Chain A
């Protein structure tokens, strides 16, 4: 079991979700987050006061999958979230120790699907 975290441009979210759905990866948690990288943001100006050190809006996706779904998930995100610009985001893949479905008490691979 793997836990995939992807930070992407928020305006790519709809396409990424549609592609994941197409590949039968339905279970996703999405959080709006702020972050920064090498990309320079859009400086906000309030009454001529320029905001320093802006954090940028990003979308964070969290997806728990069985081994066979790891590559399809990564492919789905890569093919839809990539614009070729700095700031497209990153995908992190981690080992997942345990997974329990609250409704049934099922554990492991059966619980993930």
Chain B
């Protein structure tokens, strides 16, 4: 035993050292190499007009950032209600750990990697590390709000995305492994993919790929990572025969309601201003969520004879996820079509595909977010219309075909990268510090074994 522990700690410290050296080398390189100091918006153009922040737009983006922040605790309760009593705190703790850890990562270097000065279309440089050059004047990403307002809004996206993956490895992952994985995933998967799609110079953005609020960056990315995690960690003991039902569905419902509420900030906030596009996104978001909840409940009514509470909220979340890439580019009827599609497709994926293949995506992170994100991203290629947003291209329904091609490419590239990179990352982390808790710890539950706490006491 002592020998194993010694060997593991050796691996651990070696890895920490290597990571530190790499980071220092990078920061050093960035500081020495990037002698061109970026002005506001990363441009050093002398004649660039100074952009003025609009107070209404700024207010909306800041409030939206707070709304999106609220989604992570919402997700904690959504997921927490679905696990067994003995693992409730582990889910809440993982969500709060992500909230704190990724917020720090984002300020230190995450924002720079995702949105900083472009390096070959793949990633941002470390030029904006520590928010250097990210000031209070508007930048080019959001010309009507202070650059830091855009930064903090985007931070909440970077926080919730790894949070979604928790659903795949719930109830069996070691906390140490989880922390290391989350930090590395945010750095090596989220930040680059975010740069491809949203960063200036990102190669998917250059191809004309549209992702209004994160169907690709957030949902497909997290969904495929979730699938990889479910496969690498393996099934929970007893799955699928003997797994206890959700320990507190009312918590899951509160969580889903918090998510829905926060989603208005997520999608309508992504307009980066308080105007027509934000309003369109708000309407589309709500419509899609509502109709997808109805669709899921109706399918249950028809196929298993009773509509369930869990089914309805799952449908709502699937619809909200699917409309995310499209909210600012489709009209209300387009949103409705996306909602019906996501309710039906995610239902089939969760009920039949997962049951057939028997992988243990415990809380359906892939089945809902991955599948919903893919459907929404492609549906955008069908239903997008310039009449809603002149920045968009027309979808198939309105006579445009290039958008659909771009969307297909983006889905393919993100699917592949997120899945493969996550798989390799998990294998690497598993080498340093085991990903999975021991069989006995899994039986006792993560609350006691990982945190020495209990979510519920027997005696008042």
Contact = CB atoms under 8 A, between A and B. Distances in A.
B240 A45 contact: no
Nearest to B352: A48
B242 interface: yes
Interface stretch (B43-51, B279-287, B305-313, B441-449): B305-313
Contact of A46 (B303, B308, B355): B308
A49 to B, nearest CB: 7
Contacts of A52: 241-242
A94 B40 CA distance: 85
A53 B352 CA distance: 21
B10 to A, nearest CB: 43
Most B-side CB within 10 Å, residue of A45, A47, A49, A51: A47
A44 interface: yes
Contact of B310 (A46, A51, A53): A46
Contacts of A47: 310-311, 314, 350-351, 364
Contacts of B364: 47
Contact of A49 (B240, B300, B306, B314): B240
A60 B209 CA distance: 63
A47 B366 CA distance: 14
Contacts of B242: 52-53
B355 A48 contact: yes
Closest 5 CB pairs of A and B: A48-B351, A47-B350, A46-B245, A46-B310, A51-B245
Interface string B151-192: 000000000000000000000000000000000000000000
Interface residues of A: mostly helix, strand, loop or mixed? loop
Interface of B: 240-243, 245-246, 300, 303-304, 306, 308, 310-311, 314, 347, 350-352, 355, 364
A49 B304 CA distance: 10
Contact of A48 (B243, B245, B304): B304
Nearest to A43: B304
Interface string A25-52: 0000000000000000000111111011
23 contacts: A44-B245, A45-B306, A45-B308, A46-B245, A46-B246, A46-B308, A46-B310, A47-B310, A47-B314, A47-B350, A47-B351, A47-B364, A48-B300, A48-B303, A48-B347, A48-B350, A48-B351, A48-B352, A48-B355, A49-B355, A51-B245, A52-B241, A53-B242
Interface of A: 44-49, 51-53
A67 to B, nearest CB: 35
Nearest to B241: A52
A45 B300 CA distance: 10
Nearest to B367: A47
A36 to B, nearest CB: 15
Contacts of B355: 48-49
A48 B364 CA distance: 12
Contacts of B351: 47-48
Contacts of A45: 304, 306, 308
A44 B247 CA distance: 13
Contacts of B350: 47-48
Given A46-B246, A48-B304, 20 more contacts: A44-B245, A45-B304, A45-B306, A45-B308, A46-B310, A47-B310, A47-B311, A47-B314, A47-B350, A47-B351, A48-B300, A48-B303, A48-B347, A48-B350, A48-B351, A48-B355, A49-B243, A51-B245, A52-B241, A53-B242
A45 B314 CA distance: 14
B240 to A, nearest CB: 7
A46 B249 CA distance: 10
Contacts of A51: 245
B343 to A, nearest CB: 13
Nearest to A53: B242
A44 B245 CA distance: 8
Nearest to A50: B304
A86 to B, nearest CB: 23
Contacts of A53: 242
Contacts of B240: 49
A46 to B, nearest CB: 5
B368 to A, nearest CB: 9
A53 B314 CA distance: 25
B49 to A, nearest CB: 54
A92 to B, nearest CB: 25
Contacts of B241: 52
Nearest to B309: A46
Contacts of B314: 47
A93 B350 CA distance: 49
Contacts of B310: 46-47
B170 to A, nearest CB: 14
Nearest to B306: A45
Contacts of A49: 240, 243, 355
A49 B236 CA distance: 15
Nearest to A52: B241
B362 to A, nearest CB: 11
A41 to B, nearest CB: 13
A48 B300 CA distance: 8
Nearest to A51: B245
A53 B241 CA distance: 10
